[in-house]
A and B are shown apart, each in its own frame.
Chain A
Amino acid sequence: MRLLNLFTAIYLLLTLGALVLGGFFIYLKLESEIEFEVGMELNEQIDAYAARIRSGVDPKALENEKLEIQYLPFHLDEEELIIRDTLAYHEPVNRIEKQLKASKSFKINGKHYRISYFNLVIEAEDITETVVYIMLLVLLVQLLVIGFFFRRIANRILLPFQKTLARIHSFSFQKDKPLGFEKSKILEFNQLNEFLERMSIKLLRDYRQIKEFSENISHEIQTPSAVVRGKLEHLMNQEITEEQAHLIHSAYQSNEKIQRIVKSLSLLAKLENDEFEAPVPIQLDLLIRRNLEHLQELMQLRELRLEIDLKTDYTVPMHPYIAEVMINNLLSNAIKHNKQQGWIMILLQDGKLEILNSGQRLSKNPEDLMARFQKESSHPDSVGLGLAIVHQICKTYGFQFSYSNKEQVHHTVVTFR
């Protein structure tokens, strides 16, 4: 979840909680206050009636629907004020209503009167409800308004942080520019930015160093190797005996192998150094078909049967050159480790590429073959880096790569998600 939303959510929850709690207490207090006031008033009313009786008014003349006078035995103690809920008939609305009944007893002129006075509860409840309702409404509006402004302010404060994130997101080694930030008024953001600036400078320096180093090594080895190749080709064109031809051929092949190894290792180094950024959506089915076209004759020569089921319009973001290398390696592998009149099956679905092919049972553990220079075949020309390269490519892009072998069926799976 986003940081701002988290802040907003917490603020809302806390305020709401406070509101509810506050509202609850307001309600309680209000209710008790009203009860108290009503109680006081009822008490006064009762006292007034008692005074009138004391002054000689006949109790019977005082009776009205709100008043109830009961006669108690004289020997009982005077009762304190008691207030109770009760149901009583209320004439204006012509029905039984909930009422408050206040009772108090007096010993006046030798008689013990219990005077009870009724008061509509509705009034008390109404008042309480209305007041609390209005208060809550006001507080809610306050909540929304402050919430809105709070969000705006929080957003403003977090702006430098968002900028930092954006810059990090768009950082790439290829651009060769270290991260740079404006100074912020907030200490923590400045600390963060300074650290990131230093880090990015160091990362770029390391990146460049590794890049140049591996490029130089590659170049330094390839150059004399190219010279050797040229000289051997020249030698081939001289008058040579069969034995000399074999010697030349052997030397030539080994030299070619050196070049292939250097090329593959160089590619691996570049992959590990993240030199292939800037991915582009690659439509895999087209890429696979194109590769198959190139390899068509090689497949025909081995009389391989081909079955394909490719999902069209499935794209994966990759560097185009790397995508080419990956597909090429996978397909070449399927052809190379196949047998005469064997078969290859290629399945491309949403998120997964599977290649199955017939072949020999592997004598090595399939997972080991992904390590460098591990080869299954005893072919001297096989460099053993093909699968290692695919493995590294998958690691770079976060794909899963698996290679298994069951019953002489080779099964490679690349999972893109």
Chain B
Amino acid sequence: MRTFLQQIAALLFCLLQFTMMKILLVEDNPELTQNILQYLTQEGILCETATTCFEAEDRLLGYAYDCVLLDLMLPDGNGLNLLRLIKDRGMKSSVLIISAKDALDDKLKGLDLGADDYLPKPFHLAELLARLRAIYRRSKLGGSDEISFGEILIRTQSLEVFVHDKVLDLTKKEFDLLVFLIVNKNKVISKQSIASHLWGDYTDDMANFDFVYQHIKNLRKKICAAGGKDYLSTVYGLGYKFDENAS
């Protein structure tokens, strides 16, 4: 009962900010599908799934999805064929390729064929959501490019952040961090996810994530200095959370 209510609340909340996103997840690994489904549904995104090229094609012909999460290594063929199908039919779906291959050629090929983004597996779910939202923002012409969270207002195109209508002076990384946290609000985001989002592969093998802490600290300071509430909380050394229920 409670989970159901939570879901309704999440859905309604998202409705206020975004028109409901509907995506198609094309992935053959059931565990991974489950993970992604759970995460995205909690964010108020409607997800449908397909485990083969055939099934995906079937679904694509029946509905225009906002975005297609496409795994390339499918049991009955290469996902790139689906991408070609989408482009050839002029479907308005954005495509985010998720693939374990991590081969540069595949990435270039995918982007050349018209994919909107390429996220190699394994990825952090927080990252997946951030990319999805970014694609959605870009693709919705005339749609809002604003993200608001309480007294915080973010204009993604002009890279401006306002707290109670006062402009915040943030560095690019701090801006990216804020967007990342708000998009994944109410979720515990691991330090690794944050590091990976801000610095990509450069943080591979970094001994500790002190630098993440520094950025969090600076961001927090700036928001509070402008009169915003302290939404950022540290979670037992695991990571951080942008909690809308914070005092």
Interface residues of A (CB under 8 A from B): 215, 218-219, 222-227, 229-231, 233-234, 236-237, 240, 242, 245-246, 248-249, 252-253, 256, 259-260, 263-264, 266, 291, 294-295, 297-298, 301, 321, 328, 332, 336, 377, 379, 381-383, 385-386
Among A222, A242, A253, contact of B122 (Cβ-Cβ < 8 Å): A222
**CA–CA, A328 and B204, complex, Å:** 10
Assess whether B32 is in contact with A294, with CB atoms less than 8 Å apart: no
Assess whether A249 is in contact with B236, with CB atoms less than 8 Å apart: yes
Residue of B nearest to A219 (CB): B100
Chain A residues whose CB sits within 8 angstroms of the CB of B73 once the complex forms: 219
B116-146, CB < 8 A from A: 121-126
Chain A residues whose CB sits within 8 angstroms of the CB of B103 once the complex forms: 215
Q: How many Å from the CB of B158 to the closest CB on chain A?
A: 22
21 chain-A/chain-B pairs, Cβ below 8 angstroms: A215-B103, A223-B122, A226-B121, A230-B32, A231-B35, A233-B124, A234-B38, A234-B39, A236-B238, A237-B188, A245-B235, A245-B237, A248-B238, A266-B102, A298-B206, A321-B104, A332-B206, A336-B205, A336-B206, A379-B207, A383-B205
Chain A residues whose CB sits within 8 angstroms of the CB of B235 once the complex forms: 236, 245
Residue with the highest number of chain A CB atoms closer than 10 Å, among B36, B199, B201? B201
Query: Contact residue range for chain B?
Result: 35 or more
Chain B residues whose CB sits within 8 angstroms of the CB of A253 once the complex forms: 192
Q: Contacts A226-B122, A236-B235 given: A297-B211 contact, CB under 8 Å?
A: yes
Chain A residues whose CB sits within 8 angstroms of the CB of B206 once the complex forms: 298, 332, 336, 381
Binary contact track B208-223/A, C-beta < 8 Å → 1, others 0: 1011001100000000
Residue of A nearest to B211 (CB): A301
Interface residues of B (CB under 8 A from A): 29, 31-32, 35-36, 38-39, 73, 100-104, 121-126, 171, 173, 187-188, 190, 192-193, 199-202, 204-208, 210-211, 214-215, 235-239
Among B200, B201, B207, B239, contact of A381 (Cβ-Cβ < 8 Å): B207
Chain B residues whose CB sits within 8 angstroms of the CB of A297 once the complex forms: 171, 173, 211, 215
Assess whether B121 is in contact with A222, with CB atoms less than 8 Å apart: yes
State the majority secondary structure of interface residues on B. mixed
**CA–CA, A218 and B201, complex, Å:** 17
Assess whether B236 is in contact with A245, with CB atoms less than 8 Å apart: yes
Chain B residues whose CB sits within 8 angstroms of the CB of A336 once the complex forms: 205-207
Residue with the highest number of chain B CB atoms closer than 10 Å, among A218, A230, A252, A263? A230
User: What 5 A-B pairs have minimum CB-CB distances, sorted nearest first?
Assistant: A230-B35, A245-B236, A226-B122, A379-B207, A227-B31
